[in-house]
Amino acid sequence: MIKINNNSNNSINTTPSKVSSSKKKTVTWPSSQMFTIEDVFSLNKTMKEITVRVRLSKEKEIGKIIELGALTGGKGRPEKVYAYPPITSILTEHAKSKKINLADGIERLIQLK
């Protein structure tokens, strides 16, 4: 506690604000080829959602994760589906069978196996 004294013998007690620790937390990624952000949240329940979203965004930027498409149905914004590279035609066919609308330009990322 910090004690501040005024000339009138009144004192104000305050507690210093907590500073967040800068510990590096590792994200546990799903083992399945296709996954949603909810799958990542369920594996990392102790982490804040924004932290997981930022880590996912960084993994997308460096190419370790690719946005495959979006799940259709329901109200509101469609849920995005992600995948690990390489993207194969088998994976895209499996995604289509699961009613996933493929992202624009995903065809150019398909690698033959």
Phi, psi (5° rounding) for residue 100? -100, 125
The structural domains of the chain, ordered by start, are 28-109 (1.10.10)
Q: Please report the pLDDT score of residue 113 as a whole number.
A: 53
- The CA distance from 64 to 33, in Å, is 12
| pTM for the whole structure | 0.74
- The CA distance from 68 to 78, in Å, is 13
pLDDT category at 8 given cuts 50, 70, 90 is: very low
> pLDDT (tens digit, 9 = 90+) per residue, 44-102?
999 999 999 999 999 999 999 999 999 987 788 889 999 999 888 899 999 999 999 99
